[in-house]
Amino acid sequence: MTRLILIRHGETDWTLEKRYQGDTDIPLNAKGKHNIQNAARWISQMKIDFLYSSMLLRARMSSGIIGKAIRKKAVADKRINEICFGVWEGKTGDDLWKEKDRAFMRWSKGEWVTPTGGEKISDFRKRVSHFLKAVLKRHPGKTVAIISHGGAIKMMIMEALKLSYRSLWMMRVDPASVSALNFFPDFNQLALLNYVPSLAPIKKGKKGKEGWR
């Protein structure tokens, strides 16, 4: 079995303000650093073989904290950067409604549209899929931690489980959350989704294994 541990970066000021971040480089805020430290503490209970990170600042800051906890240096890969939202970046949904942005109105109804200057969802899917296949080929039977973004993590889950595009709207991936995918020879499995570790004691089952396994 190959296991992927998918971690979303910690909170930023734009996350807090519900602004579209996309590929804009925004740093973690104080809460974001704190929550990623909680995630790092939880993840350090596992044996992580390899660590990857998006190239965006908020992910790299998160990978620095987690990498220190698990004693691994992250390999940065732009294929797991967040999707680019073009002219929407830096704006909130309320801002776009006030502007009567037609593309955003369609997006809000669950349609896949490309904002002006943004990235096509098909291109986003292609690059994330290439990354996923490369990691699975390179690290069979290993546990790999990947620090990325809400959209990219949802896309990896969608690809692994062969779900429809519509499923991306049905998943929630919060800042500093942990999700996990298990890959077996004959099927893939979503083992964990959107778990946000806290400072509560970690419960272990027999032989020291985490309860969610």
The radius of gyration of the chain from alpha carbons, rounded to an integer in Å, stands at 17
9 catalytic residue (yes or no): yes
CA-CA-CA-CA dihedral for 144, 147, 150, 152, to nearest 10: -60
DSSP for 176-204? T-EEEEEE-SS-EEEEEEEE---SSPPPB
193: CB partners within 8 A, 6+ apart: 157, 171, 173, 179
Q: Select which of 17, 34, 82, 159 is catalytic.
A: 82
Distance CA 28, CA 51 (A): 19
- 82 catalytic? Reply is yes
- Catalytic, out of 9, 89, 119, 149: 9
Return the residue matching tokens 């369609």: 106
Q: How far apart are CA 44 and CA 110, in angstroms?
A: 37
Catalytic residues: 9, 82
